[in-house]
Structure 1
Amino acid sequence: MKIRLQLFEFEDLPWFPRVIRAGMMDYLRFMISLLGTYQPIVPQLRDAMAKASTSDLLELGAGAGGGTEGVLRRLHAIGLPTARITLTDLYPQPAAWQLLAARTPGLTYEASPVDATAVPATLTGFRTIFSAFHHFPPSLAEAILADAVQQKAGIGVFEGAGKHWLEILLAWTVLPVAQLLFTPFMRPFRLSRLFFTYLVPLIPLFTIWDGTVSILRMYPPAQLLALAHRADPQRTFEWQAGKVRHWWGPEVTYLIGVPRSK
């Protein structure tokens, strides 16, 4: 699927209820962690961090932190034992992040809002964006990459899908069933999550819509490279984009940029 439709996701709307957004993010974090969605890209991320001469990650648009624990542990296991990660978001979720930080060595977070298009210079490290880059229209997506180029910060953009029609079918069928099954086991525990999943099922309904739109809004590798080249007209970074497949089938779409060695 090469088309990209700039539709809207409810979680992006400023008036959208925080309690519903948090429930959706909790589900996304739980499923990404359970399925190990981003494990296939860890070797590429490790190599990019080595080229950028850093063991620190700065996650932008972290949401509830989906997949972060698994990625960090895998980095520790394959040659970066000192790797650390700081979670940031324009809509911080300290309650969810505190839980992750308490059980994950090397994981911290920034409690203040952080705009991915204008990251404060005090927040350093190799920038990552998991499951969030599709939220940004081309102008803002390009601005995110341009800010990394301007500050000479390596950046990796990762989407846990390969942009296929089958993935939309899964979003309509299998994943809603999984959401109903797994919601009682999600942490931190929230009565609101149970209420808006089973009694008034707003969380599942909005998740189906946003999950479908997320796939339609995803940038395929060629478009990711085009954005990167517009953000870096002087070609001061080395850019690569593509897809890697998980051992059990699904793909991860990625863009990685690292400052060129002088």
Structure 2
Amino acid sequence: MKRLHLFEFEDFPWFPAVIRDSATDYLRFMIEKLRFYDSAVPYIKKVLQKTGLSSVLDLCSGGGGGMLDVYNELNKQSAQNITITLSDKYPNIPAFEEINRITNGGIKYINTSVDALDVPANIKGVRTMFSAFHHFTPEQAELILKNAVDNNAPVAFFDGAGNKFIIALSIALVHPFIFFFATPFIKPFRFSRLFFTYIIPLIPVTTIWDGIASAFRFYSEPEIRSLVKNFPAYTWETGITKGKLTVRMRYIIGHKK
């Protein structure tokens, strides 16, 4: 099925930070509990080894979901010390600070806005992106790749894959219950999170809608290949990897030939 670029609330600059941050906190909670990104580690490791780099710049980090597991696994499997820097157009600073504290500075963060379409050339490292590539139109996605290629920055992007209707339906049916039962256990604790979940349910409603919209935004393999073919100076590899609980991710890795 051809992708549909439905709107997502979190993409709008006017969307309240208290709701956006709570949404990314929820996604981080789910990603960490299910260890969504474990199967991405070998691909990132492969790019690090191919390029000789030891640093990762994560774009569109949201609440930093899964990056603690990625960081620990990369350092467990690598001979050299690997650092990760979190960034986002709308950085969730409290979440970033907590991850930085837990890792004793091993995972750093940029506290100002970083646009994935125009990443400053002075920020080095393998550029990763998790569960975010679908946020961008094909024209924007091409600009993201162009910016990386122009700056000789390797990329390792991971996003959703699978039957769009089944994914959207499962989000609509399952996540309302998860929100209801899991919200008190999501950190950092905020009274605003409780209020906008149980009293005025803006957090679950907007987050679930964004999840459904995301499912229909996922890029297919032919669509990905049509993007990367415009950059022949890079060696590209695309495909699908499986994580735990049959979580499937579409990956794009690329580096200079």
Structure 2 match to 1:42: 41
1:253 equivalent to 2:250? Answer yes
After superposition, the C-alpha distances for 1:94-118 in whole angstroms (9 at most, x for unaligned) are 1110011100241000111111111
SS at match of 2:158: strand
After superposition, the C-alpha distances for 1:113-159 in whole angstroms (9 at most, x for unaligned) are 11111111221000001111111111111000000000010011111
Q: Is the 8 A contact 1:46 1:80 kept in 2?
A: no
Unaligned runs of 5+ in 1: none
Structure 1 match to 2:72: 73
Unaligned runs of 5+ in 2: none
Structure 2 match to 1:211: 211
Change (3 A) 1:247 1:110: closer
Between the aligned partners of 2:187 and 2:161, the Cα distance in structure 1 is 24
After superposition, the C-alpha distances for 1:35-72 in whole angstroms (9 at most, x for unaligned) are 10011121111011111211100011111111111111
Q: Is the 8 A contact 2:237 2:252 kept in 1?
A: yes
Which amino acid counterpart does residue 215 of structure 2 have in structure 1? I
Between the aligned partners of 1:84 and 1:163, the Cα distance in structure 2 is 34
Q: Is the 8 A contact 2:36 2:244 kept in 1?
A: no
Q: Percent identity?
A: 42
Structure 2 match to 1:242: 239
Between the aligned partners of 1:81 and 1:18, the Cα distance in structure 2 is 37
- State the superposition RMSD in angstroms: 1.3
Q: TM-score, normalized by length of structure 2?
A: 0.96
Q: Is the 8 A contact 2:9 2:15 kept in 1?
A: yes
Between the aligned partners of 2:132 and 2:180, the Cα distance in structure 1 is 23
Matches within 5 A, 1:21-32: 21-32=20-31
Between the aligned partners of 1:258 and 1:192, the Cα distance in structure 2 is 43
How far 1:222 sits from its partner (Å)? 2.2
1:84 equivalent to 2:83? Answer yes
Between the aligned partners of 2:85 and 2:163, the Cα distance in structure 1 is 28
- Which deviates more from structure 2 when the two are superposed, residues 169-178 or residues 205-214? 169-178
Which amino acid counterpart does residue 99 of structure 2 have in structure 1? L
Structure 2 match to 1:102: 101
SS at match of 1:248: helix
SS at match of 2:146: helix
Between the aligned partners of 1:162 and 1:84, the Cα distance in structure 2 is 31
Q: Is the 8 A contact 1:221 1:242 kept in 2?
A: yes
Matches within 5 A, 1:39-188: 39-105=38-104, 106-188=106-188
How far 1:247 sits from its partner (Å)? 3.7
Structure 1 match to 2:190: 190
Q: Is the 8 A contact 1:163 1:216 kept in 2?
A: no
Which amino acid counterpart does residue 238 of structure 2 have in structure 1? A
Between the aligned partners of 2:207 and 2:135, the Cα distance in structure 1 is 14
How far 1:87 sits from its partner (Å)? 0.6
Between the aligned partners of 1:85 and 1:147, the Cα distance in structure 2 is 20
Aligned pair count reads: 256
How far 1:165 sits from its partner (Å)? 2.4
Change (3 A) 1:156 1:167: same
Which amino acid counterpart does residue 35 of structure 2 have in structure 1? G
